[in-house]
Amino acid sequence: MVILGIETSCDETAAAVVRDGKEILSNVIASQVPVHSPYGGVVPELASRKHLEYIIPVVEKALADSSIGAKELDAIAVTQGPGLVGALLVGVSAAKAMAYALDKPLIPVNHLNGHIQAAFLSDDMPQEPFICLVVSGGHTALYRVDADGNNVLLGATRDDAAGEAFDKVAKILGIGYPGGVAIDRLAVGADPRAIRFPRSRFEKDSLEFSFSGLKTAAANFIRTHGVPAPGCAGEAGSISLEDFAASFQEAVVDVLVEKTIAAARQCGLSGIAAVGGVAANGRLRARLGEAAVLSDLRLYLPPVRFCTDNAVMIAAAAYRTWQRVGQQPGMLELDAFSR
């Protein structure tokens, strides 16, 4: 079954053609990073306009790269939500128009389920049930992924998402957008113990997260000491920008790893996965790997390019939904939803 996936929930206009949920025939992403960079975050109105500009060329390129003619597609899948509603509407409208004109089934995909299904794009396929850490710019949550297609929420953030904390702290540091990538790069080889940032912990066994206290602690440090200068590691009494980045990142990663392992233990499961933009983080991937070995768990990580927003995961998720429920009636009436 060949599915065209379309994703426009935030700041990437993406389309991909995927066969049977696994074989990637094309994968096109038009990034809007240069558009939003000057603002240090996504500007929703600009995102909608750029999606409008990019959507047709991106879909055309995905079809051309795949060598699959539009008429040969078996279905069209699109991210329905959550996300920026104006941005989602562009993808949803394009997908509806194509489905109607080509008389193909339309499969709506929940963006979070798209990220979760990216776990099946790892080298080996996870076996349900498994624990999935969804960690992105908009979400930080733990799910139990069941064989019947249900994603059972075990715990989520009470305030900021981890990616949001990365982005906000990077903005204060003035090191660029998206912040997670900038912090990840700076932290390589630096000292994660240079500053002891707080780790939020709730009652025993809680699988909830909180990152606003950490964000405030990082902002307070900068207010008191100024933005750390790059490359001054080892100088008496000074903290380098790299050490700051590594210490902040370690505080985020510590909590993400600890709760993912705790979720597996509490549910008695032996498989864990991490998906979403922050799952591209080098330190998180390494630390999850070490923790999985120590706890005798199997770890599933999608390749880095399928952690951040993409349309392959949307087509893959649609395939698995189709396998379970087949065609649903009334899909041309579907609407985008923000939350």
Sign of CA dihedral 258, 260, 265, 266: positive
- Least spacing, CB of residue 153 vs Zn ion, in Å: 17
**Which residues neighbour 337 within 8 Å (Cβ) at sequence distance 6 or greater?**
80, 81, 82, 85, 88
Q: Which of 91, 114, 137, 228 binds ligand KG4 (CB under 6 A)?
A: 137
The least distance separating ligand KG4 from the CB of residue 325, rounded to whole angstroms, comes to: 24
Note whether 171 and 121 are within 8 A (CB).
Answer: no
Compute the least distance from the CB of residue 242 to Zn ion, in Å: 28
CA pair distance 58, 294, nearest whole angstrom: 43
- The residues, any chain, with a CB within 8 Å of residue 224's CB and separated by 6 or more, are none
274 lies in the binding site for ligand KG4 (CB under 6 A): no
Q: Judged by CB under 6 A, does residue 184 bind ligand KG4?
A: yes
Question: Is there binding between residue 181 and ligand KG4 (CB under 6 A)?
Answer: yes
- Least spacing, CB of residue 199 vs ligand KG4, in Å: 17
Output the six-digit token pair for 284. 């998180």
Q: Residue 137 or 155: which CB sits closer to ligand KG4?
A: 137
Q: Which range in 152-160, 222-230, 273-281, 293-301 contacts ligand KG4 by CB under 6 A?
A: 273-281
Distance of closest approach, residue 324 Cβ to ligand KG4, in angstroms = 24
Q: Which of 7, 160, 250, 309 binds ligand KG4 (CB under 6 A)?
A: 309
Report CA torsion sign: 172, 175, 181, 186: negative
Show contacts with ligand KG4 in window 57-116 (CB under 6 A).
none
By CB under 6 A, residue 180 contacts ligand KG4? yes
* Under rule CB under 6 A, residue 133 binds ligand KG4: no
Give strand ranges (E) for the chain: 2-7, 12-19, 23-31, 75-81, 106-110, 130-135, 140-145, 151-156, 271-275, 298-300
278 binds, among ligand KG4, Zn ion, none (CB under 5 to 8 A by kind): ligand KG4
Q: Which is nearer to ligand KG4, 177 or 221 (CB)?
A: 177
Calpha distance 330→339 (Å, rounded): 21
User: How many residues make contact with ligand KG4 (CB under 6 A)?
Assistant: 19
Strands 151-156 and 12-19, by their bridges, are unpaired
209 SS3 class: strand
- What residues line the site for ligand KG4 (CB under 6 A)? 10, 136-138, 163, 166-167, 178-181, 184, 276-278, 280-281, 308-309
